[in-house]
Protein backbone atom coordinates (compact mmCIF):
# COMPACT_ATOMS: atom_id res chain seq x y z
CA UNK A 1 0.00 0.00 0.00
CA UNK A 2 2.25 2.83 -1.24
CA UNK A 3 1.94 6.15 -2.91
CA UNK A 4 -1.28 7.73 -1.64
CA UNK A 5 -2.07 11.42 -1.74
CA UNK A 6 -3.65 12.79 1.44
CA UNK A 7 -5.24 16.23 1.55
CA UNK A 8 -5.18 18.28 4.75
CA UNK A 9 -7.92 20.93 4.83
CA UNK A 10 -6.94 23.27 7.62
CA UNK A 11 -5.70 26.79 8.19
CA UNK A 12 -1.93 27.22 8.58
CA UNK A 13 -0.92 26.60 12.18
CA UNK A 14 -0.02 23.95 14.73
CA UNK A 15 -2.74 21.47 13.74
CA UNK A 16 -1.83 21.51 10.06
CA UNK A 17 1.89 21.37 10.83
CA UNK A 18 1.38 18.41 13.17
CA UNK A 19 -0.71 16.52 10.62
CA UNK A 20 1.92 17.12 7.94
CA UNK A 21 4.64 15.80 10.25
CA UNK A 22 2.61 12.72 11.16
CA UNK A 23 1.76 11.97 7.52
CA UNK A 24 5.37 12.41 6.40
CA UNK A 25 6.31 9.55 8.73
CA UNK A 26 3.74 7.18 7.19
CA UNK A 27 5.29 4.89 4.55
CA UNK A 28 2.05 4.53 2.55
CA UNK A 29 1.68 8.29 2.04
CA UNK A 30 3.58 9.69 -0.91
CA UNK A 31 2.08 13.16 -1.24
CA UNK A 32 0.57 15.53 1.28
CA UNK A 33 -1.49 18.36 -0.19
CA UNK A 34 -2.87 21.25 1.85
CA UNK A 35 -5.79 23.61 1.44
CA UNK A 36 -6.89 26.42 3.75
CA UNK A 37 -10.49 26.85 2.55
CA UNK A 38 -13.29 25.07 0.69
CA UNK A 39 -12.56 26.32 -2.84
CA UNK A 40 -8.89 25.36 -2.64
CA UNK A 41 -9.88 22.00 -1.15
CA UNK A 42 -12.19 21.16 -4.04
CA UNK A 43 -9.51 22.17 -6.56
CA UNK A 44 -6.95 20.00 -4.75
CA UNK A 45 -9.29 17.01 -4.74
CA UNK A 46 -9.74 17.32 -8.50
CA UNK A 47 -6.00 17.77 -9.04
CA UNK A 48 -4.40 15.14 -6.79
CA UNK A 49 -7.35 12.73 -6.35
CA UNK A 50 -6.47 11.96 -2.75
CA UNK A 51 -7.17 8.66 -1.05
CA UNK A 52 -8.08 10.52 2.14
CA UNK A 53 -9.01 13.98 3.35
CA UNK A 54 -8.24 15.26 6.85
CA UNK A 55 -10.77 18.00 7.54
CA UNK A 56 -10.40 20.51 10.36
CA UNK A 57 -13.80 21.41 11.82
CA UNK A 58 -12.57 24.99 12.42
CA UNK A 59 -12.60 25.81 8.72
CA UNK A 60 -13.31 29.53 8.10
CA UNK A 61 -16.19 30.79 6.02
CA UNK A 62 -19.15 28.43 5.75
CA UNK A 63 -17.37 25.92 7.95
CA UNK A 64 -16.54 22.27 7.53
CA UNK A 65 -20.04 20.79 7.26
CA UNK A 66 -21.10 22.10 3.81
CA UNK A 67 -17.68 21.11 2.43
CA UNK A 68 -17.90 17.61 3.93
CA UNK A 69 -21.37 17.12 2.45
CA UNK A 70 -20.21 18.34 -0.96
CA UNK A 71 -17.20 16.01 -0.91
CA UNK A 72 -19.30 12.98 0.03
CA UNK A 73 -21.82 13.72 -2.76
CA UNK A 74 -19.17 14.30 -5.46
CA UNK A 75 -16.65 11.70 -4.33
CA UNK A 76 -18.44 9.16 -2.10
CA UNK A 77 -15.46 6.79 -2.14
CA UNK A 78 -13.10 9.48 -0.80
CA UNK A 79 -12.25 8.71 2.82
CA UNK A 80 -12.90 11.73 5.08
CA UNK A 81 -11.57 12.03 8.61
CA UNK A 82 -12.88 15.04 10.52
CA UNK A 83 -11.03 16.51 13.47
CA UNK A 84 -13.79 18.01 15.61
CA UNK A 85 -13.66 20.63 18.35
CA UNK A 86 -16.46 19.05 20.40
CA UNK A 87 -19.18 16.44 20.58
CA UNK A 88 -21.72 18.53 18.62
CA UNK A 89 -19.35 18.82 15.65
CA UNK A 90 -18.56 15.14 16.07
CA UNK A 91 -22.26 14.29 15.79
CA UNK A 92 -22.72 16.60 12.79
CA UNK A 93 -19.76 15.03 10.98
CA UNK A 94 -21.08 11.52 11.61
CA UNK A 95 -24.52 12.53 10.34
CA UNK A 96 -22.90 14.00 7.20
CA UNK A 97 -21.26 10.61 6.52
CA UNK A 98 -17.70 11.30 7.57
CA UNK A 99 -15.75 8.05 7.44
CA UNK A 100 -14.10 8.87 10.73
CA UNK A 101 -14.37 11.57 13.38
CA UNK A 102 -11.91 12.25 16.17
CA UNK A 103 -11.87 15.00 18.75
CA UNK A 104 -8.93 17.36 18.51
CA UNK A 105 -6.29 16.54 21.06
CA UNK A 106 -6.46 12.81 20.36
CA UNK A 107 -3.15 11.00 20.72
CA UNK A 108 -0.90 10.67 17.69
CA UNK A 109 -1.18 6.88 18.06
CA UNK A 110 -4.99 6.93 17.76
CA UNK A 111 -4.89 9.45 14.94
CA UNK A 112 -2.31 7.41 13.05
CA UNK A 113 -4.36 4.21 13.53
CA UNK A 114 -7.50 5.93 12.22
CA UNK A 115 -5.63 7.23 9.17
CA UNK A 116 -4.17 3.77 8.47
CA UNK A 117 -7.66 2.24 8.68
CA UNK A 118 -9.08 4.77 6.23
CA UNK A 119 -6.18 4.32 3.81
CA UNK A 120 -6.78 0.56 3.93
CA UNK A 121 -10.43 1.23 3.02
CA UNK A 122 -9.32 3.47 0.16
CA UNK A 123 -7.17 0.65 -1.22
CA UNK A 124 -10.10 -1.76 -0.93
CA UNK A 125 -12.35 0.66 -2.85
CA UNK A 126 -9.67 1.12 -5.53
CA UNK A 127 -9.32 -2.64 -5.98
CA UNK A 128 -13.08 -3.16 -6.15
CA UNK A 129 -13.43 -0.40 -8.74
CA UNK A 130 -10.60 -1.85 -10.82
CA UNK A 131 -12.15 -5.34 -10.65
CA UNK A 132 -15.56 -3.99 -11.67
CA UNK A 133 -14.00 -2.11 -14.59
CA UNK A 134 -12.14 -5.23 -15.71
CA UNK A 135 -15.36 -7.26 -15.48
CA UNK A 136 -17.17 -4.64 -17.57
CA UNK A 137 -14.43 -4.80 -20.22
CA UNK A 138 -14.53 -8.61 -20.25
CA UNK A 139 -18.30 -8.57 -20.79
CA UNK A 140 -17.96 -6.05 -23.62
CA UNK A 141 -15.23 -8.14 -25.27
CA UNK A 142 -17.32 -11.29 -25.02
CA UNK A 143 -20.38 -9.51 -26.43
CA UNK A 144 -18.32 -8.16 -29.33
CA UNK A 145 -16.84 -11.61 -30.01
CA UNK A 146 -20.31 -13.22 -29.89
CA UNK A 147 -21.62 -10.71 -32.46
CA UNK A 148 -18.95 -11.78 -34.95
pLDDT tens-digit profile of 115-135? 888 888 876 666 666 666 677
More confident residue, 145 or 89: 89
Nearest to 49 by CA among 28, 25, 17, 79: 79
Strand stretches in the chain, DSSP E: 4-9, 29-35, 52-56, 79-84, 100-103
Q: How far is CA 4 from CA 53, 55, 68, in A?
A: 11, 17, 20
Residues 6+ apart with CB under 8 A from 120: 1
Q: Where are the domains of the chain?
A: 4-147
Cα 49 from Cα 7, distance rounded (Å)? 9
Q: Is the pLDDT of residue 140 over 50?
A: yes
Task: Name the phi and psi angles at 3, rounded to 5.
Answer: 85, 30
Please give the model's pTM, rounded to 2 decimal places. 0.81
Distance separating alpha carbons of residues 131 and 127, to the nearest angstrom? 6
Domain 4-147 matching CATH 3.40.50.80: the answer reads no
Identify the residue with better confidence: 21 or 2. 21
Q: Which residues pair with 56 in a beta bridge?
A: 83
Q: Are 79 and 122 in contact (CB under 8 A)?
A: yes
Per-residue pLDDT at 2: 54
pLDDT in tens, 41-70: 999 999 989 999 999 999 888 889 999 999
Between 124 and 74, the more confident residue is 74
- For 76-101, write each residue's pLDDT tens digit: 989 999 999 999 999 999 999 999 99
**Per-residue pLDDT at 1:** 43
pLDDT at res. 123? 67
Query: What does the pLDDT read at residue 128?
Result: 64
Amino acid sequence: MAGHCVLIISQPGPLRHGLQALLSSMPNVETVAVAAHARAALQSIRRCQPAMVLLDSSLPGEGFLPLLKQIKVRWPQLQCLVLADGTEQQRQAQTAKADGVLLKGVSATRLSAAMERLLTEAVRFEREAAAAEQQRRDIERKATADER
